[in-house]
Amino acid sequence: MSRTRTAILAAVALVAGTAGAAVAAIPPDADVAAIPCTVDYKVQNQWDSGFTAAVTVTNNSAAKSSWAVKWSYAGNQKVTSGWNAKLSQSGTAVTAANESYNGTLGTGSSVSFGFNGTYSGSNALPTTFTLDGVTCNVDDGGSGPGPTDPPGPGTKVDNPYAGAKVYVNPEWKAKATAETGGSRIANQPTGVWLDRIAAINGVNGGMGLRAHLDAALAQKGSDQLVVQLVIYNLPGRDCAALASNGELGPTEIDKYRTQYIDPIAAILADTKYAGLRIVTTVEIDSLPNLVTNVSPRATATANCDTMKANGNYVKGVGYALNKLGDVPNVYNYVDAGHHGWLGWDDNFAPSAALFKEAATAEGATVADVHGFIVNTANYSALKENHFTINDSVNGASVRTSKWIDWNRYVDEQSYAQAMRTQLVSIGFPSGIGMLIDTSRNGWGGTARPTGPGATTNVDTYVDGGRYDRRIHLGNWCNQSGAGLGERPQASPATGIDAYVWMKPPGESDGSSTAIPNDEGKGFDRMCDPTYTGNPRNNNNMSGALPNAPLSGHWFSAQFQELMKNAYPAL
């Protein structure tokens, strides 16, 4: 997918903040094509002692089969981990060299990589970059048009996360900060969940949608900023679960349209917010249920059969995409489950077809879909490094192992990239991008395997090497042993617009026991640590943590466990 960058970094006349981007001061008559290379270095997120940076290098010289970008820091910044490049550091000097899969860099082509780092004091931006020893961002005297100006308000960009900060929810930040050690991640951006009609104006004195958007404007300043909203209130919501049931009954589609979607769309369309990039995650856990949990499947539920028959999931998603997609600065991402839900042959293509059906319902078109999101509020590992779907042990394919159980995918990134290809093949725009929720899929700590399992058989091989330590892929509620995953970052891999924390870490998936409430949330035995399972998890134990509150409520014990098991470690 194209990733056009419009900002470039000059070796002179830099204007830089403590967190943000180095901005080029290139003469308006400069010929950008005559500049041998440009480097765009942005600090996407920054906290008290660390930061996440994204770097894009564009080669305007002869094509390359390998490359290395170098720069030096003026302060005590240290690179701690990275992606899409081999990063090394000696003193203040940093080198980023290509990986085996991205060494080719044609004339006019760009490559992106990113990293996490630490600092103390100030985090001054580097001022000079070289590509293979040639200083970048220096004009050789040619004439012609200057670089493209950044998009104006309401102008859609290919990847809303590229070159942008992401909104930090002050309410989540306060809860995280109040936890011991929580300040280490309190400045990470998370999704704002609009999980009932009352959430639009604020629940129990909390921030409503306008309050969040106003706070986002304050955080934005002169930068680009993404606000992440979760649209989550379909009629008969989450038909295969109880903990996340919603307020609207199966037939209340008109109420969904007029009292939920229409008011949200009206607020988002306010010109006051036209300068924000508003990302919506549209109705998680809805459409996938119409594939996997309906008759004649053994995993069918009566509620899911009802929702398939009345069509209100498809109608609701289509209506939301249509109305929200009419707002010029809204980027709709539709929920596409996760690999442990839709990765099997009989689920994968039918799910993509259903997504298209919803995207062309109620006046919506595929153009209203900017992309898809996977693993929302789930725990599937981002990348399993100790085995692949093509491995075999003693002549038996790993697909026959109990864990993989004939799935085509072993992790979320491979699933997301394959689903994107499938969606484009059936008529979605070629520019769609994927988001992966990495808020709780780190699986670090002492239980994280450091190599493949024993080759006694396929089960020992897979179970001994897998990062995902759940008892079963179908387990979804407050999973014991889970950790924070990759920090939010833009353009981390081919076809992936961003890793995001759409589920705010520390918010419960559901209560461990029945708790009376006025939020429409039931008690699901999958949240009970004593539950022995059902057909959807092959009758395994639930793996849930004890003493959990209602879904969406703060769960301190889970938050602490997520920090303890974070990977990369905090």
CA distance 435 to 259: 28
User: Are the C-beta atoms of 30 and 139 separated by less than 8 Å?
Assistant: yes
Q: Which residues of 461-486 are buried (b: 16+ CB within 10 A; e: fewer)?
A: bbbbbbbbbbbbbbbbbbbbbbbbbb
For residue 402, count other CB atoms closer than 10 A to its CB: 12
CA triple 17-14-71, angle to 5 deg: 90
CA distance 367 to 429: 7
CA triple 436-192-238, angle to 5 deg: 70
Residue 263 burial (C-beta neighbours within 10 Å; 0-12, 13-18, 19+): middle
What is the C-alpha radius of gyration for the chain, rounded to an integer number of angstroms? 24
461: left (phi over 0), alpha (psi -120 to 50) or beta: alpha
CA triple 52-54-56, angle to 5 deg: 170
Q: Which residues of 202-215 are buried (b: 16+ CB within 10 A; e: fewer)?
A: eeeeebbbeebbeb
CA distance 338 to 375: 5
Give 219's contacts (C-beta < 8 A, 6+ positions apart).
165, 167, 168, 225
Q: What are phi and psi of 506, to 5 degrees?
A: 105, -10
Which among 380, 382, 325, 381 is positioned nearest to 358, based on CA atoms? Answer: 325
Q: Would you please indicate which residues are annotated as catalytic (active-site) residues? A: 285, 509
CA distance 244 to 218: 32
Instruction: Using the structure block, give the residue that is written with the tokens 């609701």.
Output: 316
